């Protein structure tokens, strides 16, 4: 018998992006007194990192990325082995190095995990539970999990900021535009939108 969070063998469960900007604001407000969780959420929805890569970031790597400014710093993706340049935007900088940020304090182990729990480095399954809890707490219905953070980044790059699909394909490492549209859950919306165009 399959666990509730796992699909049956041979099938998949697709998690959704957080499409509502109001829900994103609500989650940020929910986490305002939990610096680690707020940083996890904000960095997750602003970098397109997979959960494993997000949780593998060290304090030293985060400082190096911050020091790189608009050029950021290179990290190696665990799943693909590819080197990727990561840049932290203003929102990431605030939750990491701003007043009360998780890097705003002495005595941090530079080689230690940026995001840690009481037992050390966090696991993707623990992050999965956190994300589901955050989404439930703000009243979101649907399937949410670790890929939600990455998908939220891509969804809003496409829908809110108008970033083209080939650029997003490159970031995600997808082989086709269809794969990217399906991944971001925007294909049905875009197809429906075509029929609204008046000639």
Read off the pLDDT band of 2 (50, 70, 90). very low
Quote the pLDDT of residue 37: 96
Nearest Cα to Cα of residue 160 among 16, 15, 20, 27: 20
Quote the pLDDT of residue 190: 62
- pLDDT digit string (tens) for 33-67? 999 999 999 999 999 999 999 999 999 999 999 99
Quote the pLDDT of residue 191: 61
Yes or no: say if 143 and 13 are a contact pair by the CB < 8 Å rule.
yes
What's the rounded Cα separation, in Å, for the pair 145 and 152?
Answer: 11
- pLDDT digit string (tens) for 83-100? 888 999 999 999 999 999
What's the rounded Cα separation, in Å, for the pair 181 and 185?
Answer: 6
Q: What is the pTM of this model?
A: 0.85
3-state secondary structure of 34: coil
Quote the pLDDT of residue 146: 92
Yes or no: say if 127 and 37 are a contact pair by the CB < 8 Å rule.
no
Domains and CATH numbers, the chain: 21-150 (1.10.443.10)
Nearest Cα to Cα of residue 122 among 55, 51, 35: 55
What's the rounded Cα separation, in Å, for the pair 96 and 66?
Answer: 9
The tokens of 40 are what? Answer: 């996890």
- pLDDT digit string (tens) for 90-148? 999 999 999 999 998 777 899 999 998 888 789 999 999 999 999 999 999 999 999 99
The DSSP code for 8 is: P
3-state secondary structure of 157: helix
Supply the angle between the helices 146-159 and 165-172 in degrees, to the nearest 10: 160
> Which one of 6-10, 123-127, 173-177 scores highest in mean pLDDT?
123-127
Q: Per DSSP, which regions of 42-138 are E strands?
A: 73-76, 83-86, 116-117, 120-121
Nearest Cα to Cα of residue 54 among 98, 88, 6, 90: 88
């Amino acid at each position: 018998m399959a666990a509730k969070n796992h699909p049956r063998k041979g099938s998949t469960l697709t998690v959704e992006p957080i499409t509502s900007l109001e829900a994103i604001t609500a989650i940020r407000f929910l986490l305002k007194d939990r610096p680690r969780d707020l940083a996890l959420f904000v960095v997750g929805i602003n970098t397109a990192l997979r959960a494993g890569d997000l949780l593998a970031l060290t304090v030293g790597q985060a400082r190096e990325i911050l020091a790189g400014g608009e050029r950021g710093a290179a990290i190696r993706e665990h799943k693909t082995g590819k080197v990727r340049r990561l840049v932290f935007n203003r929102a990431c900088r605030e939750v990491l190095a701003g007043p009360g940020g998780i890097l705003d304090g002495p005595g941090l182990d530079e080689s230690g995990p940026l995001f840690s729990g009481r037992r050390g480095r966090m696991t993707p399954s623990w992050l999965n539970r956190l994300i589901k809890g955050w989404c439930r707490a703000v009243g979101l219905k649907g399937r949410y999990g670790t890929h939600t953070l990455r998908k939220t980044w891509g969804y809003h790059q496409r829908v809110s900021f108008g970033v083209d699909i080939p650029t997003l394909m490159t970031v995600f490492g997808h082989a086709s535009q269809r794969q990217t549209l399906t991944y971001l859950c925007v294909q049905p919306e875009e197809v429906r939108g075509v029929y609204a165009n008046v000639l």
